[in-house]
Structure 1
Amino acid sequence: MNIPLRIRNLIKRHDTNDPYKIAKELGITVLAVELPERTYGIFKRVLGRKYVLVNDSLPEGIQRFIVAHELGHFLMHPGYSYYRMENRGYYASTKKEEEADQFALLLLKNNM
């Protein structure tokens, strides 16, 4: 999977590297909500609608990273729906989590 190419195309298509703006243009609602302490973020589809829930107790910069991470899952891993947690558990695909982390880092690192 060529993540840098995906990032370049995504930024070109949306004219931004802001994960919040990209999510909005993709029809994904981002909500900062109270989540269990060690749950950082969740991507869910509910009745055809797409949501990213991010833990509202996290610092703003971490929330931004989590939104970018979950956006990476949405774009690269259709059907993959796990929670983003500190100290990931056995249920999560390490490869998919690493790809989403790389996606988030490259998206946020790219200056517009």
Structure 2
Amino acid sequence: MSGGLVPAWSVVVILLLAVLAANLPFLNERIFAVGPRRSPKSIWWRFVELSAYALIVALAGRGLESYLGQASALRWEFVAVWVCVMATLAFPGFVWRHLRRGT
């Protein structure tokens, strides 16, 4: 890797994975998309799923970063920004589920 730049494909993969993971809790009624169907699934289940998916995507990004080069240090700023990013990416699914559909 010249100049320490991350290949563009890795950024696209993580962003697409993050968008899918952020909206998945709001697009289905199954627990973690494969568990038993709950109708309607409570908002708390959706937040638990969103937190778990955010952790999975962060770990995938960390693994990809380690694979491609030297991983940077994780500090509280990263965690704060990542929570804000996942909340922003989850907004369309939240609006569709709770504001548009009214459930």
**TM-score, structure 2 length as denominator?**
0.35
**TM-score, structure 1 length as denominator?**
0.33
Between structures 1 and 2, the one with greater strand share: 1
Between structures 1 and 2, the one with greater helix share: 2
